[in-house]
Amino acid sequence: MRKALFTVALLVVLLVSTAAASTASAANGNSPERIFVEVDGPITSGVLDQLKANGLNVLYVFDEIGFVAGIANDKDLKRISRLKFVKNVGEDVQVFATSETLPSASPYGFGRYTWNLDMINVPTVHEEMGYTGKGVYVAVLDTGLVPNWRDYFEEDRIATEFGRAFLAVSLNAHYNPNAWEADTHGHGTHVTSTIIGFWVYDFYRVSGVAPDVKIIPVKVLHNTGSGWTTDIAAGILYIADLYKKEKESGGKVLPPEDEINPIVISMSLGGPVLSQIEKAAIDYAIDQGVFIVAAAGNDGELGMDYPGAYEPVISVGAAGWVGEWIFNNTVSGAWWIRSDVPEDLYKQVYVTDFSGREKEGQDLDVLAPGSWVVGPYPAYGAAHPPYWAQGVPGQYYFLGGTSMATPHVSGIVALMLQKDMEDGKIDLTQAEVENILENTAMPITWYSAWVINPSTGQPEEVTWGPDAVGSGLVQADAAVGAVG
């Protein structure tokens, strides 16, 4: 295996804000809640009028799956649930970006392939097998992109014409058309960089898992890194309907026009339960032929997040390499310089303590690198310090989390789909892709490893159990090789 190195700066802490209703409002039954309503039959104007008349401020109408989402006061919920056409009323679920920050460390280096891509054999797929994701779209449902995203990505890699934001404030006012490129959080930019790679200033380019895919940025999380499942459902349905139009038009929606371009949805986000409306949206999208990958979540022993834990979704936990922080047998406090990742990965891979464990009723599929992956992550918006600048704000940061593991697998799915399209059509299904990823993964048959803590410079034993590993560490070359 080969690897190389690149420039980064210090991390900042992700801020997540939540709102709490006042005690007085709750006591009066006037506490507003985000809810969804499942409707029996078509959603007509009469249905919407009755919902509004009974206190629902409508945010979304999802004709495809028979749901209406909106905001209502506590005191109105019972009235809404008693309407003759209402099958079910459910509470919207808040979700969060599944990333963590790294304690003090300021590594530096340069090169093309990073250790995380080397560990899963991405260079082999690019250089020996010839697949880079060309012709495939990956929809990144996240915080969107920072305003200066062109500093990091080639403009033709971002499908700007399809970029959207779904942050509902009222019916038919779901987004500012340009909000997808007005992010100040940076999470979506970092996730995107793992898929298509990124520029380090004008010095050199770091490769991504699938550098020739086209990214569709879909903003479903606020600039705090949090959001709601109704917004996520809106983003999923938008992509599913876009792909449906692509198939019905015979390849006239997404260029090039002479073929059907598959779409992968990548979701580095999650919440504590599976919302019924989110489940319905996922089922609809998979039925249309869209492929869905999602994070296992960062709750460790508490279990997985949703939608990653939902069985039809390809779920991804986070792993690392025991040598990621070692240089000449010492901790590299100021430099990120590594030799090749070993070919024999036995006891070289560890499972992060935060990666969501598979509990009863949950489904963990595979692991991917998610331990301090570097990429563009402006600390305070779109800052442009010179490359020799110290401190913050900066531009390149280490992030760890199942958020970072997920785009590795989304990119591998794109590589698989590129190969699948060589016969002029798409034969693979979501279930088949999941089975290939699982069957070609490297099994993790050990349950502890010694890993350097970059904050202290001391080795620490990391332990995990069988519920943390799924089918093992994903292997890009084996997965692509098994297609067809």
Q: Would you say the C-alpha torsion 266, 184, 14, 275 has a positive or negative sign?
A: negative
Report how far apart, in Å, the C-alpha atoms of 224 and of each of 188, 354, 413, 423 are: 12, 21, 29, 44
Counts of helices then strands in the chain (DSSP H, E): 11, 24
Could you tell me the two tokens for 457?
């410079």
Question: Any catalytic annotation for residue 403?
Answer: yes
CA 309/CA 191 separation, integer angstroms: 20
In the three-class reduction of DSSP (H, G, I as helix; E, B as strand; rest coil), residue 190 is classed as helix
Q: 256: closest CA among 427, 424, 433?
A: 424
**Among all chains, which residue has been given the structure tokens 């915080």?**
143
Q: Say what the pLDDT of residue 265 is.
A: 98
Question: Any catalytic annotation for residue 287?
Answer: no
Q: How many residues does the chain have?
A: 484
Could you tell me the two tokens for 215?
């990214």
Q: Would you say the C-alpha torsion 472, 402, 242, 138 has a positive or negative sign?
A: negative
Q: 412: closest CA among 127, 100, 138, 4?
A: 138
Q: Where are the domains of the chain?
A: 24-92, 95-481
Q: Say what the pLDDT of residue 104 is.
A: 35
Checking 430-436 for CB contacts under 8 A at 24+ apart, the result is 430/286, 430/290, 430/291, 430/292, 430/312, 430/314, 431/312, 433/291, 433/314, 434/314, 434/365, 436/479, 436/482, 436/483
Q: E-assigned strands of 119-167? A: 137-142, 164-165
CA 47/CA 343 separation, integer angstroms: 61
CB 325 within 8 A of CB 398: no
The two most distant CA atoms of the chain are separated, in Å, by 72
Could you tell me the two tokens for 192?
């995107």
Q: Would you say the C-alpha torsion 51, 52, 55, 61 has a positive or negative sign?
A: positive
Q: Say what the pLDDT of residue 20 is.
A: 33
Q: DSSP H helical segments within 10-109, as ranges?
A: 23-27, 45-53, 74-81
Q: How open is the CA angle 141-143-146, to the nearest 5 degrees?
A: 125
Q: Say what the pLDDT of residue 172 is.
A: 61
pLDDT in tens, the chain (484 residues): 433 322 222 222 222 222 333 334 444 556 889 999 999 999 999 999 999 999 999 999 999 999 999 999 999 999 999 999 999 999 999 998 876 654 433 333 223 788 899 999 999 999 999 999 999 999 999 999 999 899 899 999 999 999 999 987 666 655 676 799 999 899 999 999 999 999 877 777 889 999 999 999 999 999 999 999 999 999 999 999 999 999 999 888 998 777 889 999 999 999 999 999 999 999 999 999 999 999 999 999 999 999 999 999 999 999 999 988 765 444 443 334 345 788 999 999 999 999 999 999 999 999 999 998 888 888 654 444 334 444 445 577 888 999 999 999 999 999 999 999 998 889 999 999 999 999 999 999 999 999 988 777 788 999 999 999 999 999 999 999 999 8
Q: Say what the pLDDT of residue 174 is.
A: 57
CB 190 within 8 A of CB 197: no
Could you tell me the two tokens for 432?
């088949």
In order, the DSSP letters of 348-369 are: TEEE-TTSPP--TT----EEEE
Question: Any catalytic annotation for residue 187?
Answer: yes
Of 403, 408, 420, 471, the active-site residue reads 403
CA 39/CA 305 separation, integer angstroms: 27
Of 174, 187, 190, 408, the active-site residue reads 187
Say how many CA atoms lie within 13 Å of 463 toward its Cβ. 1
Q: Could you tell me whether strands 214-219 and 164-165 are parallel, antiparallel, or unpaired per DSSP bridges?
A: parallel
Q: How open is the CA angle 290-295-299, to the nearest 5 degrees?
A: 155
CATH code: domain 24-92 is 3.30.70.80
Q: Say what the pLDDT of residue 325 is.
A: 74
Phi/psi for 314 (5° steps) reads -80, 110
Of 92, 118, 142, 231, the active-site residue reads 142
CATH code: domain 95-481 is 3.40.50.200
**Among all chains, which residue has been given the structure tokens 């093992």?**
472
pTM (predicted TM-score)? 0.87
CB 375 within 8 A of CB 7: no
CB 293 within 8 A of CB 398: no
Q: 220: closest CA among 263, 284, 268, 280?
A: 268
